[in-house]
Structure 1
């Protein structure tokens, strides 16, 4: 691959008091990673140098004033801020949230301006990052507000992809939020993503039920029979291979998920609890449905192990490879469609 053809990966460093920089730096300790992409970190040379010193890491970081000055074959760092920042590893501080947002905002701007090809986000703390600029439950909602498209959070490995009908909302609001329109929207996003992002021509999608045992014919709730099942039948009429609703416990217990290309859970923990039980440490969070590609590791800030040098970087590395693969899949599909139009 010619250096100029390398995928440019924009990386937000997350909470400066967490394990974000550790998993980033550990990933790129292996110099072979620079053969796959050109990384661009958005942060501060002083903060990165402090983490390197504490963790005894030897990465060579190439500081640049702006993204257009990147050098392929190196770990690039855009200095988003120059002032001294107090780093308190393992602690949640307002300063930690403020600078996580500065990094994220700069990385998203570069993504919107096509200066980077994909975005890879290190973990943030959803409480200390809150501000006038970031008034969202998490990365997914922030990115949907800043990019084109409707988002769908997909947690994924090579064997399993779980999307969420509802995301970061209180349990008390789940049932009232689930509507035929919302189910149709999320199925459509997952169906399109499986085709364009994962090269699956005729994706099979499973939809989980809301209530225990899918309501047991109305004994434990009516939503499955009155909302979810009829909506699935309507979607089937469009030709999509959509099945369900399935009771979540039996669906995962019997490994029925292996028969599908994608699974849609009704709410956050219904999807993420089994996903993390099956794949914690190797999973990837992918924001499907948007005009740009964003992935992240499937874990949080790890305050309890920050600065100890024991954070596992496998999930971050998998997120990096996933973003590259999805970018290539989208590019390939775009080229195929362009050639098909020329042929006409």
Structure 2
């Protein structure tokens, strides 16, 4: 199959001692996956072979030393280091973090150079990956620093998309971080993404309240009445269908989220706790708002089950198909908007 017919998926292998390589291998055990895309793993053949042997997984890998050698009928592995690397399954080590960072950096480089079309990231350990080159709370912030645009973390399934107004910050900093400017920025990013990445022409967005019971008219907190509500009203006046603030417990408990195309939570656990309770194992983390597409599974490194052949690849599988679908939808949107006269 010609390159023009295949989407090239760059895959960073994540923490070498976790379940990242396992879920990658399990996803591509099904040879039909190669009908949809051309995978390119960034790592080293010896490391992947170590995992294959430990897990007793027979998945053929095509080792290459240059992106120009990609074979569209195979699972490609671009060897980016030659030295022996110690793999200690289930352990968080500086070595595994260092090589996870190398894999990610090279995958992002090729994404920027357009030699891969989308990026799929396996889980990292946020502590061991830290270095002079990687001084970020997670993938999202690293990607925003290296790609164009303003990022928005969206956790999603077919029926639920939750974005975060504030991301990986301490809970003590959340209230002071919620400003009209930030709310407008995140609503704008989610709105644009829902239109161009998901093909929803007039999306409906819900914004969750910061305080319990929306602050109970100032008894519990004033941010909802003084900052969030007026900002939502201001955004609505521009024609966007944005509603809220909604008390998070009732919003999810009554399944009100089903009435919206996107939901914005004010902080990390407010959005991710209900999301994972509803969707864990089948959810996808999508970094919206950037010049390039990146998805990942909704789970971590899984050190407790690493090397035991127990990892479920469904979330990684979903992340792959989500990246492919968003790539196609965004491409179609760009094609249509080049000539606005074609849009009715």
- Which bracket does the TM-score occupy, shorter chain normalised? over 0.9
The reply on whether 1:202 has 2:198 as its aligned counterpart is no
Name structure 1 gaps, 5 residues minimum. Answer: none
| Contact 1:4–1:72 (8 Å) recurs in 2 | no
Structure 1 residue 247: Cα displacement? 0.1
TM value normalised by structure 1 = 0.98
Q: Which aligned pairs between 1:285-324 and structure 2 lie closer than 5 A? A: 285-324=285-324
Structure 1 residue 335: Cα displacement? 1.2
Counterparts of 2:108 and 2:341, CA distance in 1: 32
| Contact 1:67–1:115 (8 Å) recurs in 2 | yes
Root mean square deviation of aligned Cα: 1.0
Q: Deviations over 1:153-212 (max 9, x none)?
A: 000000000000000000000000010000000000000000000000000000000000
Structure 1 residue 67: Cα displacement? 1.1
Q: Tell me: CA distance 1:113–1:328, structure 2 relative to 1, closer, same or farther (3 Å).
A: same
1:289 alignment partner, SS class? strand
The number of equivalent residue pairs is 343
Structure 1 residue 248: Cα displacement? 0.1
Runs ≥4 in structure 1, deviation > 3 angstroms?
A: 1-4, 339-343
Q: Which aligned pairs between 1:1-20 and structure 2 lie closer than 5 A? A: 2-20=2-20
Task: Look up the match of 1:233.
Answer: 233
Counterparts of 1:312 and 1:342, CA distance in 2: 44
Structure 1 residue 342: Cα displacement? 8.4
Structure 1 residue 42: Cα displacement? 0.1
Counterparts of 1:270 and 1:328, CA distance in 2: 31
Task: Look up the match of 1:143.
Answer: 143
Counterparts of 1:322 and 1:68, CA distance in 2: 26
Structure 1 residue 2: Cα displacement? 4.5
Task: Look up the match of 2:92.
Answer: 92
1:136 alignment partner, SS class? coil
Structure 1 residue 5: Cα displacement? 1.7
Task: Look up the match of 1:80.
Answer: 80
Counterparts of 1:198 and 1:336, CA distance in 2: 14
Moved more, 244-253 or 3-12: 3-12
2:182 alignment partner, SS class? helix
TM value normalised by structure 2 = 0.98
